[in-house]
Amino acid sequence: MKADPIRRAVIAGLGTAGAAALVGFGWQMLKPPPPATALRGADLERGHRLRQGGFPPPSVTEETAIVIAGGGIAGLAAGWTLAEAGFRNFRLLELEDRVGGNSRSGRNAVSAYPLGAHYLPIPNREAGAVRHLLRRAGALTGEAEGAPVYDPYQLCGDLQERLLWRGRWQEGLIPRTGLTARDQADFEAFHAAMEAFKARVGADGRPAFATPVAYSSRDADLLALDRIGFGDWLRAQGWGSPVLHAYLRYCTRDDYGCEPGQVSAWAGIHYFAGRRGWAAGADGDNVLTWPEGNDRLARFMAAAFPASIRSGRIVHRVARDGDSVLVDSFDAAAGRTVRTRAAAAILAMPHFVAERVAPGLVPRSTSLSYAPWLVANVTVDRLPGGRGAPLAWDNVSATGESLGYVVATHQSEARPAGTVLSWYMPLSREDPTAARRRLLETDEAAWRRLVLDDLLAMNPELDGAVREIELWRWGHAMVRPTPGTVWTEAPRIAAAEPPLYLAHSDLSGLSLFEEAHYHGTRAAEAAMTRLGHAHGTLL
Amino acid sequence: MADSAAADVGRRHGSEASSPRRLSAPAAALVASAFVVATCGLVYELLASTIASYLLGDSVTQFSTVIGTYLFAMGIGSWCSRYVRRDPLRLFVRVELLIALVGGCSAAALFLLFPMVDHFRVALYTIVLAIGFFVGLEIPLLMRILRDGFDFREVVSTVLTFDYVGALAASLLFPLLLVPHLGMIRTGFLFGIANAAVALALILVVPRRRELRLEQAAAWAILAVLAVGMIAAERVQRWAETASYQDPILYAASTPFQRIVLTRSGDDLKLFLNGNLQFSSRDEYRYHEALVHPALGRVTAPREVLVLGGGDGLAVREILKHPGVEHVTLVDLDPAMTRLFSRSGILTRLNGNAFQDRRVRVINADGFRWAREAQGRYDAIVVDLPDPVDFSLGKLYTDSFYREVARLLAPGGMMSVQSTSPLVAPQAYWSVAATLESVGLNIRPYHAYVPSFGEWGFILAAHGAIPAAVRIPAGGRFLTAEGAERLFDFPPDMARRPAPVNRLDNQALVRLFSEEWGRYEG
Ligand SMILES: Cc1cc2nc3c(=O)[nH]c(=O)nc-3n(C[C@H](O)[C@H](O)[C@H](O)COP(=O)(O)OP(=O)(O)OC[C@H]3O[C@@H](n4cnc5c(N)ncnc54)[C@H](O)[C@@H]3O)c2cc1C
């Protein structure tokens, strides 16, 4: 029998197409639906509005003794310090609908999760003010052998960190296997140098590298380190190990959102030598962490003065009027500008905003720059696994462009079924302006793909387990401690003329909880002194 | 035209051989393959039946349904062979290769799939159907290929003879040599290799090597896959936890929390959680009497008793032997565990129907979370949790956990903690002791010999002094009042040594435990 070749071809074609359609359909049925994504970030519209201006003139005036503009950690610390001292007559104005700034968090059915800051290292001896806050917040529970004891449920539980290194997870973030003699020697030399800096006390009796930065020694040779790049300094030491460099790159991106070559040697060294956690019955290198990250502390502080907080208020103009300060803020919900007349004002907003809204009153910076970050909170149905070390709190890949992810439910007593992974990536490769543009212009689908690819490269077993991705864009996430920032530029711009006070982590040149907290506390104490309100000091 | 290859093989045979009795190389290979095909087919069928009875229990059902399905699938295969018009030789080779791949991997696949899929039977019968179908296709094809060169009478008789002899060979080899010496996974791969080797031999022997290039490449690839499987069988075995139990599996279930496996051999029941032995019914009484009575027997009137873990109800059985116990609260993570041990006949016989007792209340919750939130005081607390094999179990041995448990212990109350082997893992054992002490409890460590575990450790803990006098309820098989005192004696090889306190932020115990047991198990 000879079949008509055309008919045969048609039948074969149809059959193939039908089979393919069936297979495709079946695959669609079996394949889990793609994760839901949301693209969010620090309120871009309001930030944009601020740059454009054109706010209506004030239609109401309110009076208060102290006004705090900005409700991040610095502003909240200022408010909390006032409240603790029994000073009640103040207002805190926050642009966003919620206070917390970079330490805000989200929550879904699975867990709370950080949108930005997620941990606080065990404070150093010199960080008395932070310790005081932690004691009040119940994170510091007592003393033993003369040292503070931290609540074991708030100290990061074992396993703290793991690194995906050559296809296998290992404990800790420093690669251990397959190192050459060169790598080992460089690591040893590096650690020894850092230990020496850690132990060093300056001629002025202060630690060489302190947290908060303000307590650091001013020894000239130390401050000189702020004028050179970390990369140059490392090269000068002769440490060429690529493994060491990759590790240091992780570190500077983690804390500063910058490449090692972009930060000053002082800032680079601070990461290692500026942390001397002081605690009884715990490893001093450990950190305090919570499912919602540092929002735990933000909310704790805010809870001390809920009636003073006004959110959804864009501060757009700050001016002097005789002895008082006028702070104009646009009430986004009411659509009107409110003028707040106060005897003192604390500007707890990023410096690039402060100098814009208070021209002439706030020293203009010529060199501050900000690193953009992308954070993705990925809700998964099952816990990540992998060969080697088990799931840790912080999970990092030696080859990924991201910083890996922290596990929101790490601190829970029980083993949860699913969890939320907070995935972090500073856009550090290009210059900040270009990076910021890329951050905002890249669309949701592209970011989602990037996050998923990066995550699945670390944990292929999560394929099909991703339920939801919440992308959070931080355009001006962190001040960049470029050479000269910490010890030249930051001190130059840190002070305004009373009754105006500045308070923001930018003023340290390092975006850290302790710095924000320090500046907020300092500003509040200074404002109370000016207003003649008796108060103790924690600084 | 149809059967050109068959004609090819046959005609060559007919023309080159002087006598039809002497087989040409291709024909000999074909007949040999009848033998191999039969042997392999039966081995796959036996493997599937054996694995099914091993994993699902009830061997009569498994053997008869697997064999039935297999024969039925062979029928379909034979019937379908009528639709093969062209080139049966090529198809024969392809089918042979497919059988090699599917059959060769079947045992490994079944073991690996068992814990992963919800409907294991679907996977099982799909594999059996596939193999049966292909084997069913083969014999008719073979006969057709050979028929041109031989008398049809001869073909039928030769092929079927080899087929049946092959079956006998398989059925003898399987129980006597293969399973005991190679194990099931490796047996599967070995016969897959035999299948593929026959196919390859055929390809090389028939004068059509060029045309069968694709098949040849496939044959080498499949051989390679199977060889790797054969070499990696040990590892596959480890992945496929189910392949590693010694005794037939009576019950297995994956719950959100763990994998529960119950095995039985004779009258010995064994429970495994995540592959770790929890008890053997032969000697569990030793463990549970030692766990419960030293604590309850030292409390004046134990009325309220708390059990953390112990979802098998065996500790509760012992607790209820103490007169005066009014309430037993048992907190176990896994509802599937407590349900199993309150429903299954053989298991409730073992735990004396403990969960049906009016006095017993079962709470399914995470022990740590429950303890943190719980209120109330208990006269006795029995901590019978799985060994600290990972960080989430390690949390249940930390000072933070014991602080919560101590809060729930009445002032005159007594608590006992199962705490790994002081002989195998002395540092881990003494770390539990140091951790209990670090939260302000007084302790008395003791140990008992439980054959299926070895020398096993426990720790008594209390707020106050721990009295020496103990009441042991009548009817026990292991502990007596006099014998109980001997448990506190630690010979030098288990004697106390310095060990760290286990905290949430250092999980020292998990590391010690895995180090010491790792060293012991090699
Ligand atoms: C992704 C990411 C991860 C981080 N992780 C950590 C970490 O783990 N640990 C750590 O210590 N630090 C971390 N940081 C650094 C973090 O920035 C600091 O810890 C701290 O939260 C900074 O607080 P702040 O008050 O100085 O600044 P911000 O958080 O910037 O607060 C400024 C506040 O001012 C408000 N504001 C701005 N303009 C106006 C206006 N015109 N009117 C009214 N209000 C205004 C803002 O909305 C904001 O709430 C992280 C930062 C980011 C972005």
More reliable by pLDDT, B145 or A84: A84
CB atoms within 10 A of CB A258: 25
DSSP structure string for B338-407: HHHHHH-HHHHHHTTTGGGSTTEEEEES-HHHHHHH--S-EEEEEEEPPP--SHHHHGGGSHHHHHHHHH
- The model's confidence at residue B173, banded by pLDDT at 50, 70 and 90, is confident
Query: How confident is the prediction for chain A on average, in pLDDT?
Result: 92
- C-alpha distances in Å from residue A411, one per residue of A91, A159, A307, A400, B395: 35, 10, 32, 25, 11
- How far is residue B199's CA from residue B193's CA, in Å, rounded to a whole number? 10
Reading the block at residue A456, the tokens are 């699945």
Range B289-521: architecture per CATH:
3-Layer(aba) Sandwich (3.40)
| Residue ranges in B81-183 assigned as alpha helix (H) | 88-113, 120-147, 152-173, 179-182
List pocket residues of ligand 1, CB cut-off 6 Å.
A 50, 69-75, 93-96, 101-103, 116-120, 294, 314-315, 348-350, 353, 357, 373, 375, 424, 474, 477-478, 504-505, 511-513, 516
- The model's confidence at residue B205, banded by pLDDT at 50, 70 and 90, is confident
- The model's confidence at residue B323, banded by pLDDT at 50, 70 and 90, is very high
Interface membership of B297 toward A (CB under 8 Å) = no
Quick check: A164 pLDDT over 80?
Answer: yes
The candidate with the shortest Cα–Cα distance to A275, out of A204, A202, A190, A195, is A195
ipTM of the complex: 0.81
Tell me which chain B residues have a C-beta less than 8 angstroms from the C-beta of A158. Answer: 391, 394, 504-507, 510
Interval B25-70: pLDDT, tens: 777 777 777 888 888 888 999 999 888 877 776 678 888 999 999 9
Binary contact (B395, A157; C-beta < 8 A): yes
When pLDDT is averaged across residues A430-456 and rounded to a whole number, the result is: 94
Interval A492-525: pLDDT, tens: 999 899 999 999 999 999 999 999 999 999 999 9
Q: Are B31 and B24 in contact (CB under 8 A)?
A: no
Q: How many CA atoms lie within 13 A of A400 on its CB side?
A: 26
CB atoms within 10 A of CB A392: 25
Interval A117-158: pLDDT, tens: 999 999 999 999 999 999 999 999 999 999 999 999 999 999
Closest chain A residue to B365 measured between Cα atoms? Answer: A414
Instruction: Give whichever of A34-43, A166-175, B21-30, B62-71 has the largest mean pLDDT.
Output: A166-175
Cα of A342 from ligand 1 centre, angstroms: 24
When pLDDT is averaged across residues B409-414 and rounded to a whole number, the result is: 96
- C-alpha distances in Å from residue B473, one per residue of A129, B323, B327: 59, 9, 18
Q: How many CB pairs under 8 A join A and B?
A: 49
CB atoms within 10 A of CB B465: 8
Interval B254-283: pLDDT, tens: 777 877 888 888 888 999 887 788 999 999
Binary contact (A417, B394; C-beta < 8 A): no
Q: Give the pLDDT score at B41.
A: 87
Q: Give the pLDDT score at A26.
A: 47
Q: Are A115 and A106 in contact (CB under 8 A)?
A: yes
More reliable by pLDDT, A413 or A213: A213
Interface membership of A280 toward B (CB under 8 Å) = no
Q: Give the pLDDT score at B118.
A: 65
When pLDDT is averaged across residues B124-145 and rounded to a whole number, the result is: 89
When pLDDT is averaged across residues B71-80 and rounded to a whole number, the result is: 93
Lowest mean pLDDT, pick from B198-212, B331-345, B372-386, B450-464:
B198-212
CA B297 to chain centre: 38
Question: Of B505, B507, B510, B515, which to mutate for an interface test with A (greatest number of A Cβ within 10 Å)?
Answer: B505
Reading the block at residue B512, the tokens are 């010690």
A54 φψ region: left (φ > 0), alpha (ψ -120 to 50), beta (else): left
Q: Quick one: which atom of ligand 1 is closest to the CA of A50? A: 41
- How far is residue B378's CA from residue B176's CA, in Å, rounded to a whole number? 57
What's the CATH class of domain A44-103+293-368+481-531?
alpha beta
Cα of A379 from ligand 1 centre, angstroms: 24
Question: Of A410, A415, A419, A461, which to mutate for an interface test with B (greatest number of B Cβ within 10 Å)?
Answer: A415
Reading the block at residue A11, the tokens are 């039948």
Q: Where do we find the tokens 């693209």?
A: A39
The three-class DSSP label of residue B75 is: helix
Interval A176-202: pLDDT, tens: 999 999 999 999 999 999 999 999 999
Tell me which chain B residues have a C-beta less than 8 angstroms from the C-beta of A159. Answer: 391, 507
Q: Give the pLDDT score at B14.
A: 38
Mutate to test the pocket of ligand 1, among A76, A99, A103 (most ligand atoms within 8 A of CB): A103
User: Is B384 among the residues known to form the active site?
Assistant: yes
Interval A310-356: pLDDT, tens: 999 999 999 999 999 999 999 999 999 999 999 999 999 999 999 99
Q: Give the pLDDT score at A52.
A: 84
Q: Give the pLDDT score at B53.
A: 76
Among B3, B332, B334, B384, the active-site one is B384
Query: What's the topology of domain B32-240?
Result: Growth Hormone; Chain: A; (1.20.1250)
When pLDDT is averaged across residues A348-375 and rounded to a whole number, the result is: 95
Closest chain A residue to B395 measured between Cα atoms? Answer: A413
- The model's confidence at residue A41, banded by pLDDT at 50, 70 and 90, is confident
Quick check: B3 pLDDT over 60?
Answer: no
Closest chain A residue to B389 measured between Cα atoms? Answer: A390
Q: Give the pLDDT score at A87.
A: 97
Tell me which chain A residues have a C-beta less than 8 angstroms from the C-beta of B392. Answer: 414-415
Q: Which of residues 137-176 of B touch A (CB under 8 A)?
A: none
- How far is residue B147's CA from residue B161's CA, in Å, rounded to a whole number? 15
Q: Give the pLDDT score at B141.
A: 87
Q: Are A317 and A329 in contact (CB under 8 A)?
A: no
Reading the block at residue B158, the tokens are 């030769």
The candidate with the shortest Cα–Cα distance to B251, out of B243, B241, B240, B260, is B260
DSSP structure string for A163-232: EEETTEEEESSS--SS--HHHHHHHHHHHHHHHHHHH-B-TTSSBSS-SSGGGS---HHHHHGGGSBHHH
Does the model's pTM come out above 0.90? no
% of chain B residues with pLDDT over 70: 92
The candidate with the shortest Cα–Cα distance to A516, out of A185, A116, A186, A157, is A116
Phi, psi (degrees; rounded to nearest 5) at B17: -85, 140
Tell me which chain B residues have a C-beta less than 8 angstroms from the C-beta of A413. Answer: 366, 368-369, 372, 395
Sorted by sequence, the CB contacts under 8 Å of residue B25 that are 6+ apart come out as B205
**A263 exposure class (CB count in 10 Å sphere: 0-12, 13-18, 19+):** buried
Interval A20-36: pLDDT, tens: 554 555 444 445 556 77
- The model's confidence at residue A43, banded by pLDDT at 50, 70 and 90, is low
Tell me which chain A residues have a C-beta less than 8 angstroms from the C-beta of B503. Answer: 152, 281-282
CA B188 to chain centre: 18
Interval B438-462: pLDDT, tens: 999 999 999 999 999 999 999 999 9
Domain ranges of chain B: 32-240, 289-521
Q: Give the pLDDT score at A64.
A: 97
Length of chain A measured in residues: 539
DSSP label of A276:
-
A166 φψ region: left (φ > 0), alpha (ψ -120 to 50), beta (else): left
Q: Quick one: which atom of ligand 1 is closest to the CA of A118? A: 8
Sign of CA dihedral B129, B134, B140, B143: negative
Binary contact (A413, B372; C-beta < 8 A): yes
